Each structure stands twice: as structure tokens, then as C-alpha cells.
Amino acid sequence: MDISGDILNFAPENYGMSFLPGDTIEARLRLCDKPDLCFANCAEYAWHFCLVPPFECDRRPNPFTPNGDGTNDFVQFAFSRMGYEAGTIYVYDLHGVEIWRIDIMPGGSSKQSARWFGRDNDDNLLPQGLYIYLIESGGEIVCEGTVTIAR
């Protein structure tokens, strides 16, 4: 540790530590004075940091086969900061008509929420073919591409 003025610097590598994407780090600090005539006055502070894993825009498998056989029945979407920031996945047909949309909330269930089972917003199975997807997060489009339903 290094104290420079009123700044305390800690370099984990100097203590044989390393952190990886996806790790949660808790830092605690306890400060006490050293009085001459009374008990010490102490304060404790704690901070939590999450090292965001580097998700890339992706959808797998492509094509997928939502036929209920338990293999490739859904397409899994991923986007940068998924799990840490909210996002919305839109799927359109080739005429630009929105056929499916889901809001992805931050947290542990975001991955399970970011799955499309080849159905429209009314839960009807869609025909095989090419579909367009967009993923919006933080007010901007962060991913776009196509996904194919095969039967």
C-alpha cells in the first residue's frame, strides 16, 4: 500500500492477488485514531466492485430448431454488460414488423431471460426463415444481426 497525501493506493499484484472478469471484490477499511487520554475512535468502510465479464454480441446456435426435441430449441442472445445493465431484445420479420420483444433486467436471471424460442409475442410458433434482431441497452443499439429458424 502507498499513501500519497490523502489517497491510499493498493496494488493487488504486489500481494500476489489477481482478479478476473466476473469476480466480485469486497474492500474493507478500518481507521482508528490513537488518543492519549481516551479510547480510540474507529470507523469502518466497505466497498463492493464487480468486474464485468467481457460479453460480446452473440446469438447461438444459429440456425436453431424450436421443435421441442430438447436440442437447439432456443437461441441464446448475449450483449455487452448483460447481467449488469438492462437491455431489450427485438426480433423482426423481413418486412420490418416486430414479432417478439423482451426486456432483460440486470441480475442473475438475465441469461435465462435472453432466450428466444421461435415464437411471436402471442406465443404462436413462427415458420422457418430468416429474422432480424436488435438489442438495445443504455438507450442505444448495441447489437444487430440475423437469426434463422430451421425446421
Q: What pLDDT, on a 0 to 100 scale, did the predictor assign at position 22?
A: 74
pTM of the model: 0.68
pLDDT of 21 > 90? The answer is: no
27 or 61: which leads in pLDDT: 61
Alpha helices (runs of H) in 60-144, residue ranges in sequence order: 110-113
* Cell numbers for 78: 448475449
Domains of the chain, start order = 2-50 (no CATH), 58-149 (2.60.40)
- Tell me: the pLDDT tens digits for 40-70? 899 999 998 877 766 689 999 999 999 999 9
- The average confidence (pLDDT) of the chain is 91
Q: What pLDDT, on a 0 to 100 scale, did the predictor assign at position 54?
A: 66
Q: What pLDDT, on a 0 to 100 scale, did the predictor assign at position 56?
A: 83
Strands 87-92 and 129-137: antiparallel
